[in-house]
Structure 1
Amino acid sequence: MENPIQNDRWTVRLPILLSVTLAAGMLLGATFFGGSKGIADVARGHTKFKEVLQLIDNNYVDTVNTDELVDYSITKMLEKLDPHTYYFNPKDAIAARSQLESGFDGIGIEFNLYKDTVYVVTPLVGGPSEAAGIQSGDKILKVNSDIFTGKKVDNAFIFSKLRGPRGSEVKIEILRRGVPKPLSFLLRRDRIPTFSVDAAYMMDKEVGYVKVTRFSESTYDEFKNAVSSLKTQGMKKLMLDLRGNPGGYMDRATNMVDELLAGDKLIVYTDGKDDRYDRQTRAKNAGMFENGSVVVLIDESSASASEIVAGALQDHDRALIVGRRSFGKGLVQMPVNLSDGSELRLTISRYYTPSGRSIQKPYKMGDLEGYEKDIKNRFEHGELFVSDSIKNNPKLQYRTDAGRIVYGGGGITPDVFVPRDTSMMSPYLYELFAKNTVRDYALNYVNQNRKQFEKQTFAEFLKSYNVTDADLNGVVKNATADNIKFNEKEFSRSKPYIRTYLKALIARYAYQKRDKGGLNNEFYQVMSNTDEGIRKAATLFDEAEKLAKGNVSLKDAKK
């Protein structure tokens, strides 16, 4: 989806940039600053800035770009505020908004920007690139007359060249492994839908699994469709996976909770300096899954809207929360579209879970770098591996409906801890990821053996297919061709993961159907065999059932 698989600071800041917002249509009005007691101070500051900018433009010894100076000034000013108030210049605003849209007009590829070079991860099913024959692993050399290598190539640049009006044409020049000369493709852009529910399938006769990757425009509708489909298949228990979900629209998150929560229970409330942004959101609809046990998976990358869902369900004892302590993002932003196409996301309030918790982790005004190091610090202090390393503030204790102790001040602490599994990770594996070597092998393998896969169902494949040592040797051979230096010790450590990951990718390319609304069920079903979080969560539905029925002992309540 002209959708990046990124390795840069953008990825690190995603929970910050995809922060909780108010309802999608709400924007600041012309009277936003009308009630400010400091209006005279604001006016004086505006006059001073205008004077300095005019002096520079008229008198500075060299020619300067005043637009760049203004962008820089705004960015540096906002660094004195909280870490979630953020400014996007017009180019970056387009890329940021696209993360929450339900679709776009483009050529339909998932790409990876690696060392100033753009690689195709995969052409999206049903898109122009797939129809034209663009393949995973293709290196994009040129788009129309624009060279696609070098330091100028960033995500905003890529978006601006690949996306465009539906029906418009774009010429792509690519370099493909094994083909000596570049290949040219003339593509006609089309509408490319994007999806936020990445998987929805039955794990067994009773347990349904739903993976939500973000809270975008279409998330609530996708979630309802997924739950409805699973219920027709007999779902009586729900595993909701919010791991790695950086958040998005608040109302999509609260609507999701409303489908799981009975009565008119409080879901979330906000409080800010201006009482126009103070509100309470309660359950109001007859939900699709108000009965039946629920387990929610979270981790250190589950942020903002994800934490609203987990916090509300935990406070009302509606779901058992499993995994690791979440990101800790409890501030609400108002998106403001500025006149030149840039965007300001301004923090206007804090949100609180039903028990009264603010789960915003501590921060120092103006210290964005220190704030971004929090996850790294958790890793170094052992919190991602040992539950006893989680240091909750004893002064920030709150009670769920049933009297269980929960904590504020830094994310949602899970009811059941699952350590991060790094036993199979290695630098060699990370290089394979960066160059998309395993993906490329899987796609080529499926293309060469498609008739074989057409003879068996996915259920048969899942049960009987095994990745051979010859396949692994093929991956290593391709990696060497990609200038990835072989390391026997690291390869041996990562071999079980590579084997499972390769099978999962083969399943995706061989069996993913166009009529599934973007679901990657086959991939997740294979990967779940090595996913300790899913395996642990699957054993906890009896405990979740106790919560759903209000069977919480005094001992449990004091935990």
Structure 2
Amino acid sequence: MYNLRLAMAGALIMVLGMYFGSKMNDNSGLRSAFDFPFNFRKSDKLEEIMELIEERYVDSIDFARLERNALEEILKHLDPHSSYIPASEFKRMNAKLKGRFDGIGVEFRMMNDTVLAVTVERDGPAEQAGIRPGDKIITVDGTTVSGEGMTNGSIVNLIRGPEGTSVRLEVKRYKTPDILEFDVKRGKIPINSVEVSFMLNEETGYIKVNRFAASTHSEFVLAAGELKDLGMINMVLDLRNNGGGYLSQAIALADEFLTRRQLIVYTEGYNYPKEEYFATSNGLFEEGKLVVLINEGTASASEVLSGALQDLDRATLIGRRSFGKGLVQRQTTFPDGSALRLTIARYYTPLGRSIQKPYSQGTDVYFQELSRRLERGELYSLDSMEAAFPDSLKVVTAAGKVLYGGGGILPDIFVPVDTVGVTAFYRELYANDVVYDFTYRYIDRQMASLSAYESLDDFAASFSLADSSFARLVSLAAEEEVRAPEPEVSASEALLKNQVKALIARRFWGYAGFYKVTLTRDEAINQALQVISE
């Protein structure tokens, strides 16, 4: 209890020291706050209060919970993105940014109380042991994982473990009567931030980046190099729903598109002087047409990248207004494995635009802002989107393009949310897992014919879901008591057929297959190809 109290005191002392230090313009206090242990005489009162609670309070105290509540209460009075992260959550978040975790390399989905291997990491431990997509995992180290009562989290905890240890899986495979057993040696599994890359046509490549992790730049260079070898002259860079990550990685990507000494971004804070970041020489894609896709899920580091490319007239931005997170956090870890992410500065684009949207009304209102965009029609109407920016925040690029600051990045070409085919019937199918259930049943029945496709391109060009098969999907919906009014079924048919096709492609060719199919209905992609062709 004494050690826990000291850890709690240290954490609170550090936060309060940062807070009051910034208020009193004490730079030395802020600098010392990033080294542990901490020593802030102003917080003696806090430590004394904690001692009194421990020694005299009427009931027993959960100090870990008290610590978290106190820290969160302090930080919520600063800004929406300063946060305290408990040790368990920090470990999970860090794995995503570091780009790897210990496991076996299987993405699974619970289907009818059965654990279905949806994708298997190429050359990963599971594939090397013999696990295939479509296998149904029955037991993990003797524990039955099929049936009611098993959650995704509990299954993950059984399968994952330290690198070098082994896990035994019992698997049921299509058209194999016996249960198969596999001993899988756990290893380092990459979490790729470049989710997919492929050619959209003979001259245009497509790269989707889903976060800015430690390996993002190297992944991008590899993907772009491979596409250039395939003939890429132009590029579509997809940053939709990329919530950010490491600023250094976003700057490194921007450097690949810009010429030497072009300003990429600068940061500035009350205790941190202005710091500028410039492009170097020998970028991988300094020439060629470039389109960047953004939406309301594009945030932070991805806004830095898209904002720089827009300010410098290097790219055409297509989509919807980005999230509007322009605050820089610095991370401090504590001995117990928890961490603090404290906002220390703001991002500014090369033309001086602040990316950050207002947060003066509090954290709750701040995070509800996306809902307000939906309510006022901004996701569907260009006029509503432009109304969010006052003329006082206007800047003009060298090419004469008018841009705005103060709350995210406005695209050059607006594409509304696509709601074609999204009916109540469609939503209920997904809520009840009917589309996934039907697709994997279909794959089992049609395995021979589906395996005959020579390539993803062959499948994408030739396959279409027959009307009779779609009728079976509607029948399955009825079995699951999903209402299927004829007008809604007809309205959703084309979208559902495309998504079943995409899920089939994912089963055989991974996420490259999934996106290759779904992007054929993507209006932002159509607009990008049109811009590039002009």
Quote the residue 2:248 is aligned against.
251
**Which one-letter code corresponds to 1:89 in the other structure?**
P
**Which one-letter code corresponds to 1:286 in the other structure?**
N
Residue by residue over 1:418-439, the C-alpha shift from the partner in whole angstroms, topping out at 9 and shown as x without a partner, is: 1111122234433443554433
Q: Specify the SS of the correspondent of 1:58.
A: helix
Q: Which whole-Å CA distance do the structure 1 matches of 2:421 and 2:427 have between them? A: 11
Q: Which whole-Å CA distance do the structure 1 matches of 2:351 and 2:42 have between them? A: 43
| Identity among equivalent pairs (%) | 37
1:378 alignment partner, one of 373, 376, 379: 373
Q: Which whole-Å CA distance do the structure 2 matches of 1:343 and 1:474 have between them? A: 51
* TM value normalised by structure 1: 0.79
Residue by residue over 1:240-267, the C-alpha shift from the partner in whole angstroms, topping out at 9 and shown as x without a partner, is: 1111111111111111111111231000
Q: CA deviation at 1:237?
A: 1.2
Q: How does 1:348-427 map to 2 (within 5 A)?
A: 348-364=344-360, 367-390=362-385, 391-427=388-424
Q: CA deviation at 1:109?
A: 3.3
Residues 134, 430 of structure 1: alpha-carbon distance in 2 compared, 3 angstrom cutoff: farther
Asked whether the equivalents of residues 137 and 437 of structure 1 are also in contact (C-alpha less than 8 Å), the reply is no
Asked whether the equivalents of residues 85 and 347 of structure 1 are also in contact (C-alpha less than 8 Å), the reply is yes
Q: Which whole-Å CA distance do the structure 2 matches of 1:313 and 1:357 have between them? A: 13
Q: Which whole-Å CA distance do the structure 1 matches of 2:114 and 2:210 have between them? A: 23
Residue by residue over 1:474-512, the C-alpha shift from the partner in whole angstroms, topping out at 9 and shown as x without a partner, is: 43455556x452333544332221110111111222234
Is structure 2 residue 502 aligned with structure 1 residue 504? Answer: yes
Asked whether the equivalents of residues 109 and 118 of structure 2 are also in contact (C-alpha less than 8 Å), the reply is no
Asked whether the equivalents of residues 137 and 440 of structure 1 are also in contact (C-alpha less than 8 Å), the reply is no
**Which one-letter code corresponds to 2:496 in the other structure?**
I
**Which one-letter code corresponds to 2:320 in the other structure?**
R
Is structure 2 residue 202 aligned with structure 1 residue 211? Answer: no
Residues 139, 498 of structure 1: alpha-carbon distance in 2 compared, 3 angstrom cutoff: farther
Residues 149, 360 of structure 1: alpha-carbon distance in 2 compared, 3 angstrom cutoff: farther
Is structure 2 residue 283 aligned with structure 1 residue 292? Answer: no
Q: CA deviation at 1:362?
A: 0.9
Quote the residue 2:269 is aligned against.
272
Q: Which whole-Å CA distance do the structure 1 matches of 2:495 and 2:346 have between them? A: 41
Q: Specify the SS of the correspondent of 2:318.
A: strand
Q: CA deviation at 1:159?
A: 5.8
Quote the residue 1:475 is aligned against.
473
Q: Which whole-Å CA distance do the structure 2 matches of 1:141 and 1:394 have between them? A: 62
Q: Which whole-Å CA distance do the structure 2 matches of 1:472 and 1:43 have between them? A: 71
Residues 193, 250 of structure 1: alpha-carbon distance in 2 compared, 3 angstrom cutoff: same
Quote the residue 1:460 is aligned against.
458
Asked whether the equivalents of residues 99 and 215 of structure 2 are also in contact (C-alpha less than 8 Å), the reply is yes
Q: How does 1:336-351 map to 2 (within 5 A)?
A: 336-351=332-347
Contiguous gaps of at least 5 residues in structure 2: 1-26
Quote the residue 1:524 is aligned against.
515
Residues 443, 193 of structure 1: alpha-carbon distance in 2 compared, 3 angstrom cutoff: farther
Asked whether the equivalents of residues 105 and 166 of structure 1 are also in contact (C-alpha less than 8 Å), the reply is yes
Residue by residue over 1:140-181, the C-alpha shift from the partner in whole angstroms, topping out at 9 and shown as x without a partner, is: 9988779999999786x776554321122346799999xxxx
**Which one-letter code corresponds to 1:313 in the other structure?**
L
1:320 alignment partner, one of 295, 316, 319: 316
Q: Specify the SS of the correspondent of 2:257.
A: coil
Is structure 2 residue 41 aligned with structure 1 residue 50? Answer: no
Residue by residue over 1:216-256, the C-alpha shift from the partner in whole angstroms, topping out at 9 and shown as x without a partner, is: 12111111111111112221111111111111111111111
* TM value normalised by structure 2: 0.83
Q: CA deviation at 1:293?
A: 1.0
Q: CA deviation at 1:31?
A: 6.8
Residue by residue over 1:299-342, the C-alpha shift from the partner in whole angstroms, topping out at 9 and shown as x without a partner, is: 11111111111100110101111111111110011121111001
Q: Which whole-Å CA distance do the structure 2 matches of 1:303 and 1:408 have between them? A: 14
Q: Which whole-Å CA distance do the structure 2 matches of 1:469 and 1:376 have between them? A: 38
Q: CA deviation at 1:440?
A: 4.2
**Which one-letter code corresponds to 1:341 in the other structure?**
G
Q: Specify the SS of the correspondent of 2:73.
A: helix
RMSD of equivalent CA atoms: 3.6
Quote the residue 2:490 is aligned against.
492
Q: Specify the SS of the correspondent of 2:98.
A: coil
Residue by residue over 1:49-98, the C-alpha shift from the partner in whole angstroms, topping out at 9 and shown as x without a partner, is: 32333333333333221111111211121111111111110111112112
**Which one-letter code corresponds to 1:460 in the other structure?**
D
Q: Which whole-Å CA distance do the structure 1 matches of 2:144 and 2:93 have between them? A: 22
Quote the residue 2:93 is aligned against.
96
Asked whether the equivalents of residues 115 and 145 of structure 2 are also in contact (C-alpha less than 8 Å), the reply is no
Q: Which whole-Å CA distance do the structure 2 matches of 1:41 and 1:221 have between them? A: 40
1:306 alignment partner, one of 291, 297, 302: 302
Q: How does 1:541-556 map to 2 (within 5 A)?
A: 541=532
Q: Which has the larger radius of gyration?
A: 2
Asked whether the equivalents of residues 109 and 122 of structure 1 are also in contact (C-alpha less than 8 Å), the reply is yes
Q: Specify the SS of the correspondent of 1:425.
A: coil
**Which one-letter code corresponds to 1:535 in the other structure?**
N
**Which one-letter code corresponds to 1:305 in the other structure?**
A
**Which one-letter code corresponds to 1:500 in the other structure?**
N
Contiguous gaps of at least 5 residues in structure 1: 1-28, 513-519, 544-559
Quote the residue 1:200 is aligned against.
197
- Which has the larger displacement, 133-142 or 488-497? 133-142
**Which one-letter code corresponds to 2:501 in the other structure?**
K
Q: Which whole-Å CA distance do the structure 2 matches of 1:51 and 1:119 have between them? A: 52
Q: Which whole-Å CA distance do the structure 2 matches of 1:252 and 1:360 have between them? A: 20
- Which has the larger displacement, 128-137 or 412-421? 128-137
Q: Which whole-Å CA distance do the structure 2 matches of 1:353 and 1:198 have between them? A: 26
- Which has the larger displacement, 48-57 or 191-200? 48-57
Asked whether the equivalents of residues 202 and 235 of structure 1 are also in contact (C-alpha less than 8 Å), the reply is yes
Residues 138, 369 of structure 1: alpha-carbon distance in 2 compared, 3 angstrom cutoff: farther
**Which one-letter code corresponds to 1:504 in the other structure?**
A
Q: Which whole-Å CA distance do the structure 2 matches of 1:94 and 1:152 have between them? A: 23
Residue by residue over 1:268-297, the C-alpha shift from the partner in whole angstroms, topping out at 9 and shown as x without a partner, is: 000012236x42111103111111111111
Q: Specify the SS of the correspondent of 1:100.
A: helix
Quote the residue 1:78 is aligned against.
75
Q: Which whole-Å CA distance do the structure 2 matches of 1:501 and 1:245 have between them? A: 22
Q: Which whole-Å CA distance do the structure 2 matches of 1:139 and 1:486 have between them? A: 32
